[in-house]
Homo-oligomer: A and B are copies of this chain.
Amino acid sequence: MAIAATETETPAARAFGPAAALSCRECGERYDLAPRFACEFCFGPLEVAYEFGAVTREEIERGPNNIWRYAGLLPVPDNVAELPNMDPGLTPLVRADRLAAELGMRSLHVKDDSANPTHSFKDRVVAMAVEAARTFGFRTLSCSSTGNLAGAVGAASARAGFRSCVFIPAGLEEGKIVMAAVYGGQVVAIDGNYDEVNRFCSELIGDPAGQDWGFVNVNLRPYYAEGSKTLAYEIAEQLGWRLPEQIIVPIASGSQLTKIDKGFGELIRLGLVEDRPYKVFGAQATGCSPVAAAYEQGHDVVQPVKPDTIAKSLAIGNPADGPYVIDVCRRTGGAVAHVDDAAVVDSIGLLARTEGVFAETAGGVTTGVLRKLLDEGALDPRAETVVLNTGDGLKTLNAVESGVTATIKPSLEVFKEAGLL
């Protein structure tokens, strides 16, 4: 299923900045930078390998107020900031003093990625895929999506001048469907869950019909996935060039969590932050918790499940990076945990009423796991902690039962009688 790539198709090195090659995460085999995602020898996933030049805090701080300030750490063209793209990132790291007080914590921040252009962290990864697609000469962008990605691909395709055709499971939230379609691309709903959509896309990309499409999370996946590193860079910079001691990350495919760990490691090796321990915690919804289950059972292999949860953006029953997630959480001394849908809804409310952050269900999952692991003593309430909100409550309105307190006639008397003062 790997895409054929010859030497002549490989673009000039600086089209990918400091990226030097693709390398297999399993066997280490190296490949030229091409639209290729699986090792020809062991079928392991490919990821971007770098030869970093000198990168300083000062250069980064002088850069644009978006992810391109980290261009020297990403597989993107040197002039990326000048090219049409959604320019996501540098989202707020909210000092969550009121939530911390309610949970008995000393220092808590919420990294709020709902501030991205299409209001989810997916803008980060799609921005990378757009640059790779441009370099490789693709004209159509595509993806399988649980919703947020479809919107991000639609918007970025519009901005950057690509045709788009995205695939979603039927039955997504209305906000996500409208947002996927409003940018004018094709939106194809597949009768089935995300894993079936994903299988369909794998078929399509193996077919001549899909050969010249850039599937952001399939044949462009190695580039795409690197976008999640920017979450790590931003958190460290926003903490004053310091790593948090604990971080809670949602798990869908698991890629985000592993790339945040990769990003922290790069910052340490480049001398941009002090080398000190950090613990990575993974969060799943109980209704789709295959990684948490494997972690709890001490397994390395993740058994696929059929998702049944309101946290649809995390509803990937067969997460590609599950084993790597378990590696990271074990190695750093973190954990993987899950919370049920009731806790998700409750935690969305908690985050909203203490910090004014309206999270989508995925943010309810991370906040719920934060509470659970504090209760269980697995999280240290005195350690500097960051919890991720990767999406926007406006896209999952049905998850919260929230409405007007009362409807009244425009009369002061009626208002006073209603006991609303």
Contact = CB atoms under 8 A, between A and B. Distances in A.
Interface of A: 65, 84, 86-87, 90, 92, 94-95, 97-98, 112, 115-119, 154-159, 161, 165, 168, 170, 174-175, 177-184, 186-192, 196-197, 199-200, 203-204, 207, 209, 348-349, 352-358, 392-395, 397, 400, 402-412, 415-416, 420-421
Given A65-B65, A405-B188, A179 B393 contact: yes
Given A175-B394, A179-B394, A405-B187, A158 B410 contact: no
| Residue among A155, A181, A199, A356 with the highest chain B CB neighbour number at 10 A | A356
A87 B92 contact: yes
Contacts of A65: 65, 90
A390 to B, nearest CB: 16
A409 B187 contact: no
A256 to B, nearest CB: 21
A39 to B, nearest CB: 25
Contacts of A408: 188-191
Contacts of A357: 117, 155
A98 B188 CA distance: 25
B407 A170 contact: yes
A190 B189 CA distance: 39
Nearest to A151: B358
A188 B182 CA distance: 32
A117 B119 contact: no
Nearest to A66: B92
Contacts of A407: 170, 188-191
Contacts of A190: 407-410
A340 to B, nearest CB: 20
The 5 closest A-B pairs by CB, nearest first: A184-B353, A155-B356, A159-B356, A158-B356, A189-B407
16 contacts: A118-B358, A170-B407, A175-B394, A177-B403, A178-B393, A179-B358, A181-B404, A182-B353, A184-B349, A184-B353, A187-B403, A188-B406, A188-B420, A190-B410, A192-B409, A394-B395
B352 A402 contact: no
Nearest to A190: B410
Question: Chain A's interface: helix, strand, loop or mixed, by majority?
Answer: mixed
Given A158-B356, A179-B393, A196-B410, A404 B84 contact: no
Contact of A410 (B119, B175, B197, B354): B197
A97 B117 contact: no
A134 to B, nearest CB: 15
A180 B403 CA distance: 8
Contact of A353 (B183, B204, B400, B421): B183
A199 B397 CA distance: 31
A178 B403 contact: yes
Contacts of A406: 188-189
Given A84-B97, A112-B117, A157-B356, 19 more contacts: A84-B95, A87-B92, A92-B117, A94-B159, A98-B161, A117-B356, A165-B420, A178-B403, A179-B393, A181-B404, A186-B405, A188-B404, A190-B407, A190-B408, A191-B408, A191-B410, A192-B409, A203-B412, A204-B415
Contact of A358 (B183, B358, B402): B183
Nearest to A393: B182
Contacts of A112: 117
A174 B397 contact: yes
Contacts of A209: 412, 416, 421
A171 B416 CA distance: 22
B183 A404 contact: no
Contacts of A203: 412
A349 B185 CA distance: 11
A412 B181 contact: no
A395 B175 CA distance: 9
A45 to B, nearest CB: 23
